[in-house]
Structure 1
Amino acid sequence: MLRFFSPSYISAGFVAVLVGYAGAGAIVFQAANAAGASPAEISSWLWALGIGMGVSSIGLTFYYRQPILIAWSTPGAALLVTSLPGVPMSESIGAFLFSSILLTLCGVTGLFQKIMAFVPQSLASALLAAVLLKFGLDAFVALESDVLMVGVMVVVYLLTKQFLPRYVIPLTFLVGIVIALIGGTISAIETTFTLTLPVFVMPSFEITTLIGVGIPLFIVTMASQNVPGIAALRAHGYDVPASPLIGWSGLTGVILAPFGGFAFNLAAITAALCMSPEVHPDPSKRYPAVIWASVFYCLAGLFGAAIAALFIAFPAALVMAIAGLALLSTIANSLEAALKVEAERDAAILTFAVTASGMTLLSIGAPFWGLVIGMSAYLFRKRFTTVGKG
């Protein structure tokens, strides 16, 4: 059991949760405010999201013995910021419930598994590399705001990568925290640590809200979150079936929607932090990092706004730097896998370029369109090659 307490597991799990809350926590607050939530209801949203992510992640990870991290839908939260103003809270909850039911059906019927079975490994790797690219670049963008802290972190990263690769992220993160504390850039936390009480809201169903909020929430969660999430697992060599993961994450939303759990899906960016070679050289022994992430998620849910405030207190430059540095190996490995097969290289680079562009078309994000365009190129070449041989 002592191996579960390895610093590489603990730090990977903590950084994954830190990146999730510090990077998108504010969007969740905005979405709750847009829905007209009271302070108690906002805390309930955080409770539902933290408990939902933690319990589902730890359950799936223990069952499959693979690093399966469930997250909230960040694009979904951003969608809610603009979609919920003026919508009664009960109708908002109804839309969350409707979207989660659609996600559950997608998993139970096996539809998602059938779709993803057609995606070649090179395109999945290209998709993952593009999704993570911005975070890798942001590690060096952070130099603009704090040259000393980020510069020292980069030096420590390079040295420990060479001599202590297993502990590169814990040590780099620790050095960053120490410098931030000395420099006084970690914000003061003005909150009390009290247990959050969930608030149940009876859902109501209005057809216009289901169409205008529920269906778009389902689409962006599937296209912008679950597709990259499966790509992250496949790019790291994990063979867990896709449909049960989608089904269970959707069911989590069905259960917790009345408390503010608006959408749950497979994580991609934060999951990649728990799958990198720095966590453990053996991919089959990386899943304890997700167990630790689940523990931190549950704590964040139990203590609601207080824990969220703790994560948000870290300076943006520190979060950007540690996330980017932790993902560099995954980006490099994904690019290598994406470009390895010459016959699939054009399709893979198209997938990478479209996804990395960050474009949005018909309110659907770049990962979906990257996969569509890349698959079209892949199938076209495959068809052309088959005809040529015939």
Structure 2
Amino acid sequence: MTDHHGTPVVTGIVTAVVGFSSSFVVVLAGLAAVGATPDQAASGILALCVTLALGMLWLALRHRSPFALAWSTPGAALLLSTGAATGGWAAAVGAFVVAGVLILLTGLVPALGDLIARIPTSLARAMLAGVLVPICLEPVIGLADSPAYVGPVVLAWLVMHRVSRRWAVPVSLAVAVVVVLVTAGSSVDTADLVPSLTWTTPHWTLPAVVSIGIPLYIVTMASQNVPGVAVTASYGYTVPWREAMTVTGLGTLVGAPFGGHAINLAAITAAMTAGPMAGPDRARRWVASASAAVCYLVLALGCAALAALVAAAPGGVMQAAAGLALLGTLGSSLAGALADEHEREAAAVCFLVAASGITVLGVGAAFWALVAGLVLRPLLGASRRVSSPR
């Protein structure tokens, strides 16, 4: 008989490597966009790795079920599109704290979870798609401006899509790192590559809370936590909703002063730890989650080095890699946003406002996109239903 006992452990390692490598550049870029220095961004990645690993270990060991956690990649994309917060980096950290409080309250106050569930899926996905558009354009811009640097990254992504789609993004990121080492290796700051946590005292400003904190909470809930529950349930496991929101909310709160923006239930990698890839014995698949958690702690040791590489990257290489990493999310978001023809126009308006990057009254485009969609949805949807032939 074949021994499958090692399978969950290997699956957990693969889960962590894929989850980390496919989006760490998005997180670093997002934190930098809202004002973090390279040291603060590296601290943020470290805080995210530690908090999600500890949360995943708690849930896996307590429930003996393969529950997976991750950082909020859509949330990082939101930060990247929002730009510098009113009040600087400390105000962005304050917005992260607000998002953590809201996630925690979602677990403690059922009415808040019900309110999030009432946000139309089409609008939440349209908002996310609009946020992603400028980022996903980076490979196109990079190929035109710096083909020698960006070309190998895009080529690696295309080739790996033919071989294994799961590894397309990690391999393209590995190629991007090689390009950076070859072209800018001597300019990489190696003064201090030891990972460390950098404390930032949170500061709260209304524009930062409205343009970062609230949209970060909504996009994390709608694009990560809710799908994460659905994916895990599809493999026969019931997520303890209140406890999961408490764990991720507390994790976000603890990590925020060190630069972590948000952690949440995993959606994509949840299928790896909960599915057949983690072995035929369903009772042992929780080992994959525990293994992934330990691997995240190991990967955290490289955060400072990765931040130094990203800071030294030439010619839009890392921006292009981030755009490629988010192409799949953009496609699925657009498909979900436009699926219902009765809500299509409102979703399109929401998408366009989010993609515009406007700032009104100090508040970013993501918030106004959701407002526009919610206001226009009953008007445009109703008129479409009236005009539609029976």
Q: With the length of structure 2 as denominator, give the TM-score of the two structures.
A: 0.68
CA contact (8 A) 1:27 1:78 kept: yes
Q: Deviations over 1:216-272 (max 9, x none)?
A: 554444323121222323796753798766654442355466xx346743579xx78
Partner of 2:281: none
Structure 1 residues 58-67 or 334-343, which shifts more? 58-67
Which consecutive unaligned segments of at least 5 residues does structure 2 have? 1-7, 231-238, 279-285
1:176 and 1:252, CA in 2 relative to 1: closer, same or farther beyond 3 A?
Answer: closer
Partner of 1:331: 330
Q: Secondary structure at the match of 2:359?
A: coil
Structure 1 residues 65-74 or 145-154, which shifts more? 65-74
1:322 and 1:275, CA in 2 relative to 1: closer, same or farther beyond 3 A?
Answer: farther
CA distance in structure 1 between the partners assigned to 2:290 and 2:143 by the alignment: 29
TM superposition shift of 1:307:
5.6
Residues 128-139 of structure 1: matches in 2 within 5 Å? 128-139=128-139
Residues 166-245 of structure 1: matches in 2 within 5 Å? 166-184=166-184, 187-194=187-194, 196=196, 213=204, 217-233=208-224, 238-239=229-230
Letter of the structure 1 residue corresponding to residue 352 of structure 2? A
Partner of 2:262: 265
Q: Deviations over 1:21-57 (max 9, x none)?
A: 2442475545999xxxxxxxx9987765653455346
Q: Percent identity?
A: 26
CA contact (8 A) 2:57 2:289 kept: no
Q: Deviations over 1:350-379 (max 9, x none)?
A: 111111111222333222221221122222
CA contact (8 A) 1:47 1:196 kept: yes
Structure 1 residues 191-200 or 344-353, which shifts more? 191-200
Letter of the structure 2 residue corresponding to residue 120 of structure 1? P
Q: Secondary structure at the match of 2:316?
A: helix
CA distance in structure 2 between the partners assigned to 1:103 and 1:299 by the alignment: 26
Q: Secondary structure at the match of 1:119?
A: coil
CA distance in structure 2 between the partners assigned to 1:296 and 1:325 by the alignment: 23
Partner of 2:71: 69
Partner of 1:346: 345
CA distance in structure 1 between the partners assigned to 2:191 and 2:83 by the alignment: 24
1:57 and 1:142, CA in 2 relative to 1: closer, same or farther beyond 3 A?
Answer: farther
CA distance in structure 2 between the partners assigned to 1:350 and 1:290 by the alignment: 43
CA distance in structure 2 between the partners assigned to 1:341 and 1:113 by the alignment: 23
Partner of 2:141: 141
Q: Deviations over 1:286-331 (max 9, x none)?
A: 997998698557754x677566435534446221122211222221
Q: Secondary structure at the match of 1:376?
A: helix
CA contact (8 A) 1:354 1:369 kept: yes
1:81 and 1:10, CA in 2 relative to 1: closer, same or farther beyond 3 A?
Answer: same
CA distance in structure 2 between the partners assigned to 1:70 and 1:372 by the alignment: 22
> Aligned Cα RMSD in Å?
4.9
Q: Secondary structure at the match of 1:148?
A: helix
CA distance in structure 2 between the partners assigned to 1:139 and 1:107 by the alignment: 39
Q: With the length of structure 1 as denominator, give the TM-score of the two structures.
A: 0.68
Aligned residues: 357
CA contact (8 A) 2:69 2:264 kept: no
CA distance in structure 2 between the partners assigned to 1:161 and 1:93 by the alignment: 37
Q: Secondary structure at the match of 2:362?
A: coil
Q: Deviations over 1:318-351 (max 9, x none)?
A: 2112221122222122212222221111111111
